[in-house]
A and B are shown apart, each in its own frame.
Chain A
Amino acid sequence: MQAADPVVAGGYFGRALVVDAGMATASTLPLADEVLRAYIGGAGLGAWLMHRLGPPGVDPLAPEAPLAFVFSPLVGTPLTTSAKFAVVAKSPLTGMLTDALASSQFAIAGKLTGHDAIVIRGACRQPSVLLVDGDGVRFIDAADLCGLPAAEAEKRLRESLGRSWRIAAIGPAGERGVRYATISHDGRHAGRGGLGAVMGSKRLKAIAVRAATKVASADPQAVLEAARDLRARSFGPATAKYRELGTLANLLAFNAISTLPTRNFQAATFSGAPLLAAEDLSKMRSVTRNSCASCTIGCEHIYSARGGKKIRVEYENVFALGPMCGVSDPDAVLAASGRCDELGVDTISAGGTIAWAMECAERGLIDAPWLRFGDAEGLMRALEEIGARQGLGELLAEGSRRAAEHVGGGSAAFAPHVKGLELPGYEPRTMQAMALGLAVNPRGADHNRSGAYEADLSGDLDRLAGGDAHVAAAVQTEDRAAVMDSLILCKFLRGVFSEPFEEWAALLSAVTGWDVDAAELRQTARRIVMAKRVFNIREGWRPQDDWLPERLLSEPLRIGSGRVAALTPERLRGMIAGYYAARGLDPEGRPDQASLTDLQLS
Chain B
Amino acid sequence: MSSSAGIVLAGGRSSRMGTPKAALEWHGSTLLRRTIGIISRVIDGPVVVVRAPGQLLPELPSQVEVVDDPREGMGPVQGLAAGLAATAGRAEIAFVCSTDMPFLHPAFVRRVLRAAQEGADVGLPLARGFPQPLAASYRTALAPVAERLVAQQRLRPAFLFEECVVARLDEAALRADPILAALDPDLDSVVNINEPADYQAARARPAPEVTIQRFGTLADGHRGPQLIRAATVGGAAAAAGLALDGHVVAALNGEQITRDGQTPLATGDTVFFLAADAGG
Binding site for B on A (CB under 8 A): 237-238, 240-242, 244-245, 247, 249-250, 252-254, 256-258, 278-280, 314-316, 319, 424-426, 447, 451, 453-454, 456-459, 462-465, 491-492, 494-495, 559-561, 563
Contacts and interface: CB of A to CB of B under 8 A. Distances in A.
Nearest to A319: B280
Interface stretch (B71-79, B112-120, B126-134, B252-260): B252-260
Contact of B255 (A244, A249, A257): A257
A464 B219 contact: no
Contacts of B276: 454, 457-458, 495
A458 B257 contact: yes
B260 A459 contact: yes
Nearest to A462: B256
A447 B277 CA distance: 13
B277 A241 contact: yes
Interface stretch (B91-99, B149-157, B190-198, B210-218): B210-218
A560 B253 CA distance: 7
Given A257-B254, A315-B280, A459 B247 contact: no
B257 A457 contact: yes
B272 A253 contact: yes
Given A457-B276, A491-B279, A495-B246, A563 B255 contact: yes
Interface of B: 44, 213, 215-217, 219, 223, 246-247, 249-260, 270, 272, 274-280
Given A249-B215, A495-B246, A256 B272 contact: yes
Contacts of B254: 256-258, 559-561
22 contacts: A238-B247, A241-B217, A249-B216, A250-B278, A253-B272, A256-B215, A257-B274, A258-B254, A279-B219, A279-B223, A319-B280, A425-B280, A453-B278, A456-B257, A459-B249, A459-B258, A465-B44, A491-B279, A494-B277, A494-B279, A495-B276, A495-B277
A253 to B, nearest CB: 4
A257 B257 contact: yes
B280 A447 contact: yes
Contacts of B275: 240-241, 249, 253
A463 B278 contact: no
B223 A314 contact: no
A464 B279 contact: no
Closest 7 CB pairs between A and B?
A249-B216, A560-B254, A315-B280, A561-B255, A253-B215, A561-B253, A253-B274
A258 B251 CA distance: 11
Contacts of A463: 257
Nearest to B257: A459
Scoring A249, A254, A456, A458 by chain B CB atoms within 10 A of each residue's CB, the highest score goes to: A249
B154 to A, nearest CB: 39
Contacts of A252: 215-216
Nearest to A280: B223
B257 A240 contact: no
B280 A245 contact: no
A278 B216 contact: yes
A569 B217 CA distance: 37
A245 B251 CA distance: 20
Given A257-B272, A457-B249, A494-B279, 4 more contacts: A249-B275, A257-B254, A447-B279, A560-B254
A571 to B, nearest CB: 13
Nearest to B233: A459
Scoring B44, B219, B253, B255 by chain A CB atoms within 10 A of each residue's CB, the highest score goes to: B255
A447 B246 CA distance: 21
Contacts of B253: 560-561
B214 to A, nearest CB: 9
A446 to B, nearest CB: 12
A596 to B, nearest CB: 33
Given A457-B249, A464-B255, A247 B216 contact: no
A423 to B, nearest CB: 13
Contacts of A256: 213, 215, 251, 254, 272, 274
Contacts of A456: 257
Nearest to B248: A237
Contacts of A245: 216-217
Contacts of A454: 276-278
Nearest to A464: B255
A330 to B, nearest CB: 16
Given A253-B272, A315-B280, A559 B217 contact: no
B172 to A, nearest CB: 23
A451 B279 contact: yes
A455 to B, nearest CB: 10
A316 B278 CA distance: 12
Contacts of A315: 280
B279 A253 contact: no
A363 to B, nearest CB: 29
Contact of B217 (A244, A425, A458): A244
Contacts of B278: 250, 253-254, 426, 453-454, 457
Contacts of B272: 253, 256-257
A424 to B, nearest CB: 7
Scoring A245, A278, A459 by chain B CB atoms within 10 A of each residue's CB, the highest score goes to: A459
Nearest to B216: A249
A526 to B, nearest CB: 23
A492 B215 contact: no
A462 B258 CA distance: 10
A424 B280 contact: yes
A319 B275 CA distance: 18
B106 to A, nearest CB: 9
A253 B280 CA distance: 12
A251 to B, nearest CB: 9
Contact of A240 (B213, B217, B260, B279): B217
B108 to A, nearest CB: 14
A257 B280 contact: no
Contacts of B259: 458-459
A278 B280 CA distance: 13
B75 to A, nearest CB: 35
A559 B250 CA distance: 16
B223 A240 contact: no
A249 B217 contact: yes
A495 B247 contact: yes
B213 to A, nearest CB: 7
Nearest to A456: B257
B180 to A, nearest CB: 13
Scoring B246, B253, B274 by chain A CB atoms within 10 A of each residue's CB, the highest score goes to: B274
Contacts of B279: 242, 247, 447, 451, 491-492, 494
Nearest to B277: A495
Contacts of B217: 240-241, 244-245, 249
Contacts of A447: 279-280
Scoring B217, B258, B259, B272 by chain A CB atoms within 10 A of each residue's CB, the highest score goes to: B217
A247 B259 CA distance: 22
B274 to A, nearest CB: 4
A481 to B, nearest CB: 11
B219 A257 contact: no
Contacts of B215: 249, 252-253, 256, 279
Contacts of A563: 255
B152 to A, nearest CB: 40
Contacts of A258: 254-255
Scoring B256, B257, B277 by chain A CB atoms within 10 A of each residue's CB, the highest score goes to: B277
A565 to B, nearest CB: 9
A209 to B, nearest CB: 28
A280 B219 CA distance: 11
A459 B252 CA distance: 11
Contacts of A253: 215-216, 272, 274-275, 278
Nearest to B260: A459
B280 A238 contact: no
B129 to A, nearest CB: 30
B272 to A, nearest CB: 5
